[in-house]
Amino acid sequence: MFKEILKVIKKYNTIVIARHIGGDIDAIGSQIGLKELLKENFPTKNIYAIGSYSSKFKFIGSLDKEEEINLDNSLLIVLDTPKVSRLDIEDLSKYSYKIKIDHHPLEEEFCDIELVDEKKSSTCEMIIELCDKLKLKMNKSAAEKLYMGIVSDTNRFLYPCTSSNTLKCVANIMDKYNIDISSLYEKMYMRNLDELKFMAYIFENIKVTKNKVAYIKVTDEIQKKYGMDAASTGNMVSELSYVKDFIVWITFSEDKKQNIVRVSLRSRGPAINSFAMKYNGGGHKLASGIRLSSFDLSDEIIDGLDKLCEEYLNDQK
Ligand SMILES: [Mn+2]
């Protein structure tokens, strides 16, 4: 399949790289990393990375605008996106050929080539491997972006998706490109005191059900009080890992701009992605997301996950 991918890349002069809506560091990092490494190997091709993102991730690099690209006879490479409805592009039918590279559980086949590997920590890890297998050249700038994506999706090599392959990939590029991790971590993790106080608010106000489901509902008003937005509120979910009293933990964050409530789910017990799918969400087995139109369904979701945890706890006995 790797060879096939190279053949297709060689064939097309216009290559557009896309990813899921609400791009995170793995999604945007793999996009821009792949763009830069393809530019390095095929300098005469027109290569674009498209989609919108929050100013928070500007440090990864800038993105191109799909409407400014001539899409005649173009190749689309979709990264980090398991289904069409999550894709941050206008119209899939404008592209002549499509390749998907993703580490989410397979949900939907919508590309001509589908390179899907659930065992990989991140899409960035898959790009490093692809580059390696195809003997493509990389450069320092691309390597840094791919490194950040891996660090982000593994939560600094903390999550169980981290494998020996992940560490080998990271070790290889660190060696070859002399990556300065301190400067990257500063970009990724530097925060202000307000954020810390917001975290304290979450720790103080989180509730836990009988069967160890922790949850917090954060309204727009509270976010404003601490100078936060819905996306950064959702990211707080990773601060709640490794608490003995939680098996599943959830943040509900009101997003006034989009008129939705973002739900971020994490688990260290039962798989939660199929539960999320019932509400039109999805993701990984232990890390998923849902978008609701209001807080109305939040209690139903908490109850449903409490049942899931109850079964899980009974199975453990
Ligand atoms: Mn990812």
Q: Is 140 helix (H, G, I), strand (E, B) or coil?
A: helix
3-state helix, strand, coil in the chain (%, to 5): 45, 20, 35
Same domain, 272 and 308: yes
> In the prediction, which pLDDT does 313 show?
96
Same domain, 238 and 203: yes
Query: For residues 146 and 225, what is the distance between their CA atoms, to the nearest angstrom?
Result: 35
> What number of other Cβ atoms are within 10 A of residue 54's Cβ?
13
Please tell me the distance between residue 314's alpha carbon and the centre of ligand 1 in angstroms.
32
- Domain end (from 188, 211, 240): 188
Please tell me the distance between residue 153's alpha carbon and the centre of ligand 1 in angstroms.
6
Q: How many domains does the chain have?
A: 2
Same domain, 64 and 176: yes
Same domain, 197 and 183: no
Query: For residues 97 and 116, what is the distance between their CA atoms, to the nearest angstrom?
Result: 17
Same domain, 200 and 172: no
Please tell me the distance between residue 27's alpha carbon and the centre of ligand 1 in angstroms.
6
Please tell me the distance between residue 120's alpha carbon and the centre of ligand 1 in angstroms.
9
Which CATH number does the domain housing residue 246 bear?
Answer: 3.10.310.30
**What is the residue range of 295's domain?**
193-316
- Domain end (from 166, 188, 210): 188
CB 114 within 8 A of CB 100: yes
pLDDT means per 10 residues, the chain with 317 residues, are: 95 97 93 98 97 85 92 96 91 95 94 96 98 96 98 93 96 95 95 94 97 97 93 88 96 95 96 95 91 97 98 93
Please tell me the distance between residue 225's alpha carbon and the centre of ligand 1 in angstroms.
30
Please tell me the distance between residue 123's alpha carbon and the centre of ligand 1 in angstroms.
5
Same domain, 36 and 65: yes
Global pTM reads 0.88
Which CATH number does the domain housing residue 42 bear?
Answer: 3.90.1640.10
- Stated as kind and residue range, the H or E segment containing 218 is strand 213-218
> In the prediction, which pLDDT does 185 show?
96
Please tell me the distance between residue 315's alpha carbon and the centre of ligand 1 in angstroms.
30
- Domain end (from 188, 222, 242): 188
Q: Which residue has the tokens 């091709």?
A: 45
CA angle 63, 126, 67 (to 5 degrees): 25
Same domain, 105 and 29: yes
Same domain, 165 and 258: no
CA dist 65 to 15, 16, 53, 62, Å? 13, 10, 12, 10
Same domain, 181 and 207: no
Please tell me the distance between residue 24's alpha carbon and the centre of ligand 1 in angstroms.
8
Please tell me the distance between residue 154's alpha carbon and the centre of ligand 1 in angstroms.
9
